[in-house]
Each structure stands twice: as C-alpha cells, then as structure tokens.
C-alpha cells in the first residue's frame, strides 16, 4: 500500500530525496566520529606538543586535556585546553591564520589569567611569528585570556554546586 504511493513520486524528486538522505547520513556518521575520537586526538596533540617542548628545553609539560563537554562556547572555540604537570598553570593550543595558512601556537596561562609568551609549534609558525603584526597576536592573547576567565568561572560554578 505504502509502496504504491512512492511509485507516483517523479524520478527527479526521488533522486533528490536519496541524495539528501545520503548527505544527512554521512554528516551524522562524521559528527559521531568527530565526537567519539576527541580523546584520541587530544592525546595525540598532547604527545606531540610535549615532545616539542622537551626539544625546546621547556620545563613545563602538558599533563592532560580539559574536557570540552560543558565548556562555555567561547572557551571551547579558542583552542584545546590542557592542565600542566607540576604547575598550577593551564595551557591552550590554538591556531593562527595568516595568508591562508593555519599554524598552531601554544600559550601558558597563569592562575591570575595572564597569557605568557606565545610558542610557535611549527617552523611555519616561527616565520609567521616574525612577519605578523604584534597587534594581531595581541588580539589572540586577549581572546585567550577572556576564554580562560569564562572557563575558570564555569569550573568554579560547577565545583560549588
């Protein structure tokens, strides 16, 4: 009975329906994969950043990623947040875009909410760091500090409940 109703649908509409169904299915599968692989991607990022920090002779290493579940929107969008080993500081790995090229940077955030010097995590980032106007980096630093304040408030609110 129901199949007879579908026989009356014009072929172009059927094709569009099938295409829309496939597209929605692929988007659903990719969203699920993106969400469920977040811990694996965070661990890979943590390991590669720590390896780079050891090579650069830094004393502070990243310890574990902060979960992005329940994070305020702006804080979650500013980068991937980490706690640091043997230090009360937090760190954020974020991306700077210049001339259409993405380059990762690291910033350590002190307990008073001030960002330390930015650390480029790639050779292109080092070159970008020298060419990009310091005002633009200042904007990134202010966004990160504002995100840290939001994140700290949200964590304190959760701990007090």
CA distance 71 to 151: 7
User: Is 46 within 8 Å of 82 (Cβ atoms)?
Assistant: yes
- Which residue is associated with the tokens 């992005």? 68
Residue ranges of domains in the chain: 2-35, 60-160
Could you report the per-residue pLDDT of 27-60, keeping only the tens digit for each?
999 999 988 888 898 899 999 999 999 998 888 8
Quote the pTM value: 0.77
For residue 20, what are the CA distances in angstroms to 33, 49, 97, 120? Answer: 20, 40, 33, 42
- For 81-105, the pLDDT digits (tens) are 898 988 888 899 999 888 888 899 9
Give SS3 for 92. strand
């Amino acid at each position: 009975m129901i199949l007879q109703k579908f026989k009356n649908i014009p072929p172009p509409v059927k094709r569009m329906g099938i295409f829309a169904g496939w597209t929605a299915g692929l988007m659903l599968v990719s969203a699920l994969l993106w969400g469920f692989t977040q811990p694996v991607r965070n661990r890979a990022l943590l390991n590669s950043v720590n390896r780079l920090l050891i090579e650069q002779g830094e004393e502070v290493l990243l310890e574990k990623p902060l979960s992005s579940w329940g994070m305020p929107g702006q804080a979650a969008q500013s980068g991937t947040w980490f706690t640091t080993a043997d230090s009360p500081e937090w760190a954020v790995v974020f991306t700077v875009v210049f001339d259409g090229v993405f380059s990762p940077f690291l910033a350590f955030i002190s307990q008073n909410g001030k960002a330390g010097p930015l650390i480029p995590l790639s050779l292109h980032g080092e070159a970008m760091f020298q060419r990009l106007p310091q005002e633009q980096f200042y904007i990134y630093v202010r966004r990160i500090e504002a995100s840290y304040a939001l994140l700290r408030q949200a964590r304190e609110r959760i701990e007090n409940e």
